[in-house]
Amino acid sequence: MVRSILLRGFDQEMAERVGAHMETHGVKFIRKFVPSKVERLEEGMPGRLKVTAKSTEGSDILEGEYNTVLIAIGRDACTRNIGLETIGVKINEKNGKVPVNDEEQTNVPYVYAIGDILDGKLELTPVAIQAGKLLARRLYGGGTTKCDYINVPTTVFTPLEYGSCGLPEETAVERYGKQNLEVYHSLFWPLEWTVPGRDNNTCYAKIICNKYDNNRVIGFHVLGPNAGEVTQGFAAAIKCGLTKELLDETIGIHPTCAEVFTTLDITKSSGQDISQRGC
C-alpha cells in the first residue's frame, strides 16, 4: 500500500521502474491509500487480519484480508523533551528535526547537530559518521572540509537493486534547468540473465550531465544486479569531478553491468530506442 509515491526523495523514473519490475513479479501495489484500522479475525501462524484503508485523495474505503501486516511508519526526531527551547534552538515543528547551515550549525551559533536529526538531510549512518568526523576536525583540528550531502552513494535493496549518487533528475532540472542538462541512458541485459532469458530490457542505467560545466556528471543512477557495488566505485569518480568525456575514455570490463556506463551514447532528448538485444 503506497500513500503517495514510491521511494520519496529518489529519482522517480528509477522508482517507477523498480515498481514495474516488482509488479511483473507478482507484487500488487495499492496506490494512494493508507491503512486506518487492522483487526484480528483469526489467531495462528499465520492468522487472519482484516485491513481497512482510506484513500488519500477522496472518501473511498478499501477492505482486505491478509495473514501478515507490516507497517513502515517512518520516524520523527525525539527533540521536544531535551530542553532545546531553553537555549533557543529551533526545530521543524512537523517532524522535530533540526535545521542547520552547511557547517551543521543550528540557529544558536555554539550548538551543532549531525546525522538523522538534520532537517532535509539524508538518514544514512555513513553520512552521520562522515559528518561527525569532519565537524570534529573543523572544531578542534583546524580542518575546513564540509560534509557533502549531494554526492552521497546509496542503494535501495529492492528486488531489482537501485544505486544512485548525486541528484535525481527532477532535482537536477529544478536546480539547473532542463535546457542545461543532457541525460544519457540505456537499458541493459546482465550476462547471467541471458541464458535463462530473464527480464530482458529491465535493467537501466542513466547519467545526468551539466552541459555548461564540461558535461560534468551530477546524477548517476543504475538498476540491476549488485547496483550498490557498481555505485560505490563510480561515486569516487563523481567526487573527483567525473565528466561524460572521461567516462567515454574509460575502458569497460566485459561483460559486467558497470560497463554500460562507458558506452552510453543515446540521450533522452534524441528520443532514440534504448532497447538491447544482447549482453
Segment 115-137 mean pLDDT? 96
Cell of 263: 558506452
What is the average pLDDT value for the chain, to the nearest integer? 96
**Per-residue confidence band for 279, with pLDDT thresholds at 50, 70 and 90:** low
Higher pLDDT, 142 or 75: 142
What residue type is assigned to position 254 of the chain? H
Segment 124-131 mean pLDDT? 96
pLDDT of residue 277: 73
Active-site residue among 21, 185, 221, 254?
A: 254
Q: Where are the alpha helices (DSSP H) in 61-113?
A: 84-87
Segment 137-144 mean pLDDT? 97
Cell of 43: 489467531
Give the Å distances, CA to CA, from 173 to 181, 217, 246: 7, 13, 23
178 pLDDT above the threshold of 60: yes
Considering the chain, what percentage of its residues have pLDDT values greater than 70?
99
Active-site residue, 25 included: no
34 pLDDT above the threshold of 90: yes
**What is the tens place of the pLDDT at every residue in 44-91?**
988 999 999 999 999 999 999 999 999 998 888 999 999 999 999 999
Cell of 259: 560497463
What residue type is assigned to position 26 of the chain? G
**Per-residue confidence band for 278, with pLDDT thresholds at 50, 70 and 90:** low
Q: Where are the alpha helices (DSSP H) in the chain?
A: 12-24, 84-87, 125-140, 169-176, 191-194, 227-239, 244-249
- Region of poorest pLDDT, from 102-116, 218-232, 264-278: 264-278
Q: What's the gap between Cα 138 and its chain centre?
A: 29
Whole-prediction pTM value? 0.92
**Per-residue confidence band for 100, with pLDDT thresholds at 50, 70 and 90:** very high
- Region of poorest pLDDT, from 38-42, 197-201, 235-239: 197-201
* Secondary structure (3-state) at 204: strand
Considering the chain, what percentage of its residues have pLDDT values greater than 90?
95
Q: Are 217 and 245 in contact (CB under 8 A)?
A: no
Segment 112-130 mean pLDDT? 96
What residue type is assigned to position 103 of the chain? E
Closest listed residue to residue 247, CA positions, set 257, 232, 260: 260
**What is the tens place of the pLDDT at every residue in 233-247?**
999 999 999 999 999
Cell of 242: 567525473
Output DSSP code: residue 194: H
Q: How many helices (H) and strands (E) does the chain have?
A: 7, 8
